[in-house]
């Protein structure tokens, strides 16, 4: 696989929204995703192959913390390491911005994502009750010390 990872651009918005809606029952709004493209303290990292968007990760850094807000991979590209590559790219960006830890929330029931984060060195540090809607579910808070 010859995957390119780059900062997403406005022209990626339609493809990002298609993946967002296919991946989450409580999808971000197009305005929210568009704002992440302009975030000087983070952004949207996109993964593509042969000009086709495969997935993306949205993150934001503030002082010593960086938060991974969202990672999504197109259903036809899953189980190919795209999510892992995107999270690795966010880890690199967080370190380069001086962050000392990367935080995220993940649905308690999302066992594939939790297993990936565990394998990358993240540890569960807490939970947020009823954090997600559609369906209502707790979030596991995970942290990676950088």
Is 59 part of a structural domain of the chain?
Answer: yes
**What is the reported pLDDT for 130?**
92
Is 26 part of a structural domain of the chain?
Answer: yes
Is 74 part of a structural domain of the chain?
Answer: yes
How many whole angstroms separate alpha carbon 114 and alpha carbon 122? 9
CATH label of the domain that carries residue 12: 3.40.630.30
Is 122 part of a structural domain of the chain?
Answer: no
**What is the reported pLDDT for 48?**
96
**What is the reported pLDDT for 2?**
79
Q: Is 102 exposed, middle or buried (0-12, 13-18, 19+ CB in 10 A)?
A: buried
**What is the reported pLDDT for 54?**
97
Q: Is 64 a catalytic residue?
A: no
Catalytic residue among 117, 131, 137, 145: 117
Catalytic residue among 105, 127, 137, 145: 105
Is 100 part of a structural domain of the chain?
Answer: yes
Q: Which residues of the chain are modeled with pLDDT < 50?
A: none
pTM of the model: 0.94
Which range of residues forms the domain containing residue 60? Answer: 4-104
Which whole-number Å values give the CA distances from 144 to 4, 84, 90, 133, 136, in the listed order? 24, 14, 12, 25, 26
Q: Is 145 a catalytic residue?
A: no
**What is the reported pLDDT for 134?**
82
Number of independent structural domains in the chain: 1
């Amino acid at each position: 696989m010859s995957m390119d990872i780059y900062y997403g651009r406005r022209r990626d918005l339609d493809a990002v929204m298609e993946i967002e809606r296919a991946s989450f029952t409580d999808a971000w709004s197009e305005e929210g995703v568009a704002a992440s493209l302009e975030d000087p303290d983070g952004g949207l990292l996109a993964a593509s192959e042969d000009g086709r968007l495969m997935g993306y990760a949205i993150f934001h850094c503030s002082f010593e913390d960086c938060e991974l807000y969202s990672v999504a991979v197109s259903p036809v590209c899953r189980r190919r390491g795209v999510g892992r590559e995107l999270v690795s790219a966010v880890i690199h960006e967080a370190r380069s911005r001086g962050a000392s830890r990367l935080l995220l929330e993940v649905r308690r029931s999302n066992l594939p994502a939790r297993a990936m984060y565990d394998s990358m060195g993240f540890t569960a540090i807490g939970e947020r009750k009823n954090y997600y809607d559609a369906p209502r579910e707790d979030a596991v808070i995970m942290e990676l010390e950088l």
